[in-house]
Amino acid sequence: MIEFYNVSTRIREQMILKDVTFRLVKGEFAFLTGPSGAGKSTILRHIYMDVMPDQGMVIVENYNSAKIKEKEIPMLRRKIGVVFQDFKLLPDRNVFDNVAFALRVTGVKGREIRRRVMRVLAEVNLGHKRNQYPASLSGGEQQRVAIARAIVNNPFIILADEPTGNLDAATSLEIMQILEKINRQGTAILMATHSQEILETFGHRRIIVRDGALRP
């Protein structure tokens, strides 16, 4: 369902990925790990097709990087949830509207929006804070809002780029448990992380990147 075939990519004359090949199956939870600057974020960006390979190809569900049209990329992204270290919440609207945003920009109707937003907020235990603004939330709560926004479109996979990078150990664990729960409900998760602790606590498959290449 996600397949990289001999992907090589250069950005500004610099080789960023070198002959990357791997596959992620339906509902899998995998870690993407390796030193800073190795290319973890770049691999994730290939999956939501923010970066295109120079050689090889990336297949995501029924989309192929070699054939996809620019117009289809938004449709692909509606099936993928992304979560970042810096949350990327919009400060000018409350929790409810931040989550609803993902539905509004894809044309979902009002009543349906309310139903689905309330459901995912309950999922991350934030229903009671739906009227608060991001600035008044803790880091862990902000990341839970971001996760709610990522799952509100019922994606088949969550791409998490160091989602615990800004959080303390206890809060990180909380976020991991939410991701575990989402994964148990059938959503695949590919998570980039440095954290040795998390890698050891959660025994998922590790895809190790070094200098733009996968290590066996």
Ligand X SMILES: Nc1ncnc2c1ncn2[C@@H]1O[C@H](COP(=O)(O)OP(=O)(O)OP(=O)(O)O)[C@@H](O)[C@H]1O
For ligand X, the binding residue among 38, 95, 100, 117 (CB under 6 A) is: 38
Task: Mark the segment that binds ligand X (CB under 6 A) among 30-38, 88-96, 143-151, 173-181.
Answer: 30-38
The verdict on 196 binding ligand X (CB under 6 A) reads no
What are the DSSP calls for 138-162, one per residue? -HHHHHHHHHHHHHTT--SEEEEES
Whole-number Cα distances in Å, 174 to 72, 119, 136, 143, 144: 35, 19, 19, 10, 9
**Choice between 67 and 109, CB closer to other proteins:** 109
CA angle at 68 for the pair 62 and 70, rounded to the nearest 5°: 135
Q: How far is the CB of 43 from ligand X (least distance, A)?
A: 7
Longest alpha-carbon distance in the chain = 49
The verdict on 41 binding ligand X (CB under 6 A) reads yes
**Choice between 38 and 137, CB closer to ligand X:** 38
**Choice between 123 and 161, CB closer to ligand X:** 161
Task: Mark the segment that binds ligand X (CB under 6 A) among 18-26, 36-44, 114-122, 139-147.
Answer: 36-44
